[in-house]
Structure 1
Amino acid sequence: MSKTSNRLSNSIPTTTIRISTMHSAVVAPTTFQYVNNHQGWTSSLIWAVLVVTFSTSFVMGVNIGGPNIYNLFIVPWARGYPFPCQKDEDVAQWVARVWWDCDYTDISLWNITGYYYLPPVPANRQISQHVIDAAHTICFVIGGAIGGLTGQYWYSYLTRRNAIFVSMIFQLLGSILMIIPLLIYHGYTRGDPDRNTINQVLENKDIAIALLYISRFLSGWSAGMCCVVSSIYLADISPRIMRGKVVTFHQLFIVIGVLVGQIIGVPWLLGQHDKWNWGMSWAGLFSLAGCFLIWTLPESPRWLVQEHERNRAAESLRILRQSNYIEAELDEIVRQEATAVTQHVSICSMFTTTRFRWPLLTSIALNAIQQLCGINSVFFYSSETFSLIGFVEDKVYWGIISTGFINLVATIVSEKFVELFGRRPLILYPLGIITFIMILLCVFIQIHIPIIVLILTLMFIAMFAVGLGPIPYVYPNEVFTIDVRPTALSISVFASWFCNTLVTILFPVFRSIINGYVFLIFCVCCSSAFVLLYYKMPETKGKKLSEIEAFW
């Protein structure tokens, strides 16, 4: 038997496949074969996944998990009260007592200038102040929305590796700028500062706060880009039968970053009055390393085929598969690209073309509900929520870390589930459970039973992690043809970050108005998404695009 026959012996039987384009149908040759060469992990593939996910996805997770804890210090600092004892929350005051000798019981000898306590916010300004206090997080998610929407252009006009490199540069700049604010505007004086000290400290306040916002915006832009360029690169370099598993590593390393960011933010490490800038910038070291290590990775074989560089694509596949028998897989990529529409597909045409409508709407729905289920109300505001329901002192930190830990465990489990059970069940069943959990959260937050609220929060995170966490990144890569995938993924990621922005801005506002009943809003969003996805989301596991399109 010839070598070619050996290489194709595991291929699926050949059939004639009709692939629709925007204007007509293209009939693939009868020799078109979907290769199943039973390839698994190789050291080259593992190295590529680790470099990309550690330098982009992991860093994104740190930027999500860390600020939740540092808000205890950032909020008074941004309001213009940067001294150690100027804290108004129980947890922040506990840190100030233990690490800065602040005495909140007898202030007769301290409060000479009135700068010891954080002044209360007037009732008529509380809602607007909540939005201002969340400004640095809002900058992050706005940057993410822009990065996600523009990701398709970086992806299309640069090589895959270059696009990832650009996202690392944004994060590296953001990390450098994050170091500066606390160096030029800080109050490290113990006790009650005198008026001269106060005036000197406040001189660079506006510049420092502006640098904080710019830094968070750049970090968000990098995060939004990585959701597009990193996930597509991972899909491009993975064997087709492993694509879902490999792409979910993007989500896995995000949640690892969330947990590590939470741990680094405890007061025993960098969660203190004079160290939070380092706690929010250290992850840039991974981006810096990635800027060098990215060039050790092979370029995307699919991108090289699109650029008509078959020889380089073959070499890239040999490195990734660590095998010389790659011709069958390369031929499959070439044939898939040959059937793709060669003209540019605009965002408008994605919505107006019948063929793309339901794949796009379900992708948007998945990415939107990923945020509108309320997950980032936990990761951005859990320190405040746990404090409000009765957790005190260090118990708040253990509660926060437990959310990151259960998120990681459930995400690891989802690595097995996503290929075992498929995409559709892991979305619908958890969505139904999350809807019920939201109702219970409303009840138990109102009656202040902290331990039950924590248990329900952990259950919510676990349900999120097994489905809504990874699948919104996998699904668009499976329901769109190669030519429209960058545009479709950018629109989907933009929807995720846009909804993230809404949650970031509105959650503290609604919580201050309706308290625990704010979770009813997430309940309505989850139930609405469940109905839409039940009727319009197909199963994509192991299916060819023609089979998926037949669902609609």
Structure 2
Amino acid sequence: MVSESSESKQSASVIFVLLISAAAALGGFLFGFDTAVINGAVVALGDHFNVGPVLVGLSVSLALIGSAVGALASGFVSEKYGRIRPMLLAAVLFTVSGIGAGFPFTVWDFIFWRFLGGVGIGLASAITPAYIAEISPAELRGRFGSLQQLAIVTGIFVAMLSNYMMVDFAGGSAAMDLWLGFEAWRWMFWAEVPPALLYGFAALMIPESPRYLIGTGREKEAETILAKVLGESVLEKIEEIKVTLAVEGKASFAAVRGSKGLKTVVWLGLGLSVLQQFVGINVIFYYGSMLWRSVGFSEQNSLWITVITGVVNIVTTLVAIAFIDRVGRKPLLLVGSAGMLITLGILAYLFGHAAGGSADHPVLSGASATAALISANLYVFCFGFSWGPVVWVLLGEMFNNRMRASALALGAGAQWIANFVVSASFPSLVNWAGLGITYSIYAFFAAVSFFFVLFLVKETRGRELEDM
């Protein structure tokens, strides 16, 4: 009877953590939706504002600088105000940005609205993995942490699907016969408002991080939440957290400093963040429709390809959730790096040896076009079960209690800056060097990522946060 009661409590605690983790991960959904929605609008925006590839690249990528600002600020904000209030602020920024981006007067105020939304993305991207890591039992932390990436890729898929449906219905992203006389690309941004409001409502319903509460002297509140999370006596866990906080000192940016400017583990987090972006994954999600149009596909077919890519991304994230707490973080990263190296190498070869077109606009046909589509989706598959979810899980759990918020803020900030570098440079790099060389560069960083993990990254599966 006692055993059944214990199992019942444990089951209830798992469901409780799953629900609040899923609510927090709505920030990841908006993160994915907001970053991918530009994919369907980028060509129409260039035509609407009559700007060249440099300003098109900036209109896509300057939102990422806002994301870096939001991520870097998240450490201070979350330590001072907790994990929930920054989520509410992010929800407000998502809402305002979605409305404003659909009503731009010039390319510059469009960039401003996207920058504002980027700040919201940065806040959500750094705080969500920290919150989920702090609320989850060690044996399930990898799976719950992967919900962040699942939400991100779901947001990407929904954005791509809604873009495709709007273009298909209106007859083009610049067409004005969708609803109320507004072009389809405007509605792409306005579609972000309902989930942003839902995220704000969800943030109001979930509890504060118990580790934050203990760190600020609110032990009774933390005890109530931990009892629901662990399903058992929590006094020993509270004392353990208090001891680690006392030994490590109060959380602050000073905690990340070391003899080499930053502590070694923080440098490793920065390396993981940068390499996650330097393999070029967001080129597929930001410029996918432009990429496939440039090699000979129609606008509608190009958007449909991005929808398929979004489905592949979701399926592979489910693979990661199934295996991350079984096989560990490091094996998934190594296999993913090897797969990305091979598939990116194939894409580089196909783009570089296309029978028609030019280096910056190669035209693929027949077997080459099919091979490129298969390779691109296999590349997304390899990223989706490895570097996509696993990096976010590691960033949430590899740092100790004192430095977690600050180190995660730096890691997420570095990720967004790297994302900006890749995204802003892609149009100009393709014009200058061609698609073949551009994808060769991404393949090189896939190789670097393999050896980085092999020699430097340690396994964190099953370890308590207090043991990091």
Q: Tell me if the contact between 1:59 and 1:284 (Cα under 8 Å) persists in the aligned partners.
A: no
Which residue number in structure 2 is paired with residue 408 of structure 1?
314
Q: With CA pairs under 8 Å and 6+ residues apart, which has the higher RCO, 1 or 2?
A: 2
Q: Tell me if the contact between 1:147 and 1:222 (Cα under 8 Å) persists in the aligned partners.
A: yes
Runs (5+) with no aligned partner, structure 2: 175-182, 355-363
Which residue number in structure 2 is paired with residue 149 of structure 1?
72
Q: Match of 2:190, SS?
A: coil
Deviation, 1:40, is 6.8
CA distance in 2 between counterparts of 1:481 and 1:356 reads 14
Structure-2-length-normalised TM-score: 0.87
Which residue number in structure 1 is paired with residue 402 of structure 2?
483
Q: Tell me if the contact between 1:419 and 1:541 (Cα under 8 Å) persists in the aligned partners.
A: yes
CA distance in 1 between counterparts of 2:441 and 2:78 reads 35
Per-residue CA deviation, residues 405-442 of structure 1 (Å, 9 max, x unaligned), is: 10110011110121111111111121122112222111
The percentage of counterpart residues that share the same residue type is 22
Q: Match of 1:268, SS?
A: helix
Per-residue CA deviation, residues 514-545 of structure 1 (Å, 9 max, x unaligned), is: 22221111122222232232111111112357
Q: Tell me if the contact between 1:78 and 1:133 (Cα under 8 Å) persists in the aligned partners.
A: no
CA distance in 2 between counterparts of 1:343 and 1:74 reads 44
CA distance in 2 between counterparts of 1:244 and 1:508 reads 36
Instruction: Check if 1:272 corresponds to 2:173.
Output: yes
What is the letter of the counterpart of residue 154 of structure 2? Answer: I
2:18 corresponds to which of 46, 55, 60: 46
Instruction: Check if 1:308 corresponds to 2:217.
Output: yes
Which residue number in structure 2 is paired with residue 345 of structure 1?
253
CA distance in 1 between counterparts of 2:13 and 2:109 reads 43
Aligned ranges 1:153-552 → 2 under 5 Å: 153-181=76-104, 205-206=105-106, 209-266=107-164, 267-269=167-169, 272-273=173-174, 274-320=183-229, 323=231, 325-342=233-250, 344-346=252-254, 350-353=256-259, 357-445=263-351, 446-447=353-354, 448=364, 449-515=368-434, 516-543=436-463
CA distance in 1 between counterparts of 2:204 and 2:304 reads 40
CA distance in 2 between counterparts of 1:366 and 1:334 reads 30
Query: Could you tell which deviates more after superposition, 453-462 or 378-387?
Result: 378-387
What is the letter of the counterpart of residue 244 of structure 1? Answer: G
Shift of the 419–251 alpha-carbon distance from structure 1 to 2, 3 Å rule, reads: same
What is the letter of the counterpart of residue 89 of structure 2? Answer: V
CA distance in 1 between counterparts of 2:237 and 2:261 reads 27
Deviation, 1:355, is 11
Q: Match of 2:443, SS?
A: helix
Superposed CA RMSD in Å reads 2.5
Which residue number in structure 2 is paired with residue 140 of structure 1?
63
What is the letter of the counterpart of residue 444 of structure 1? Answer: L
Which residue number in structure 2 is paired with residue 97 of structure 1?
none
Runs (5+) with no aligned partner, structure 1: 11-36, 81-128, 182-204
Which residue number in structure 1 is paired with residue 357 of structure 2?
none
Q: Match of 1:232, SS?
A: helix
Q: Tell me if the contact between 1:390 and 1:450 (Cα under 8 Å) persists in the aligned partners.
A: no
Deviation, 1:359, is 1.1
CA distance in 2 between counterparts of 1:343 and 1:212 reads 37
CA distance in 2 between counterparts of 1:45 and 1:507 reads 40
Q: Match of 1:325, SS?
A: coil
Q: Tell me if the contact between 1:298 and 1:319 (Cα under 8 Å) persists in the aligned partners.
A: no
What is the letter of the counterpart of residue 45 of structure 1? Answer: V
Q: Match of 1:352, SS?
A: coil
Q: Match of 2:386, SS?
A: helix
Q: Whose helix proportion is higher, 1 or 2?
A: 2
Structure exhibiting the larger radius of gyration computed from Cα positions: 1
Deviation, 1:485, is 0.9
Deviation, 1:316, is 2.0
Deviation, 1:289, is 2.6
Deviation, 1:269, is 4.8
Aligned ranges 1:7-46 → 2 under 5 Å: 42-46=14-18
CA distance in 2 between counterparts of 1:144 and 1:173 reads 15
Q: Tell me if the contact between 2:276 and 2:388 (Cα under 8 Å) persists in the aligned partners.
A: yes
Query: Could you tell which deviates more after superposition, 510-519 or 525-534?
Result: 525-534
Deviation, 1:219, is 1.1
CA distance in 2 between counterparts of 1:495 and 1:161 reads 23
Deviation, 1:387, is 1.6
CA distance in 1 between counterparts of 2:12 and 2:278 reads 36
Deviation, 1:366, is 0.9
Deviation, 1:319, is 4.2
Q: Tell me if the contact between 2:88 and 2:204 (Cα under 8 Å) persists in the aligned partners.
A: no
What is the letter of the counterpart of residue 437 of structure 1? Answer: T
Q: Tell me if the contact between 2:30 and 2:192 (Cα under 8 Å) persists in the aligned partners.
A: yes
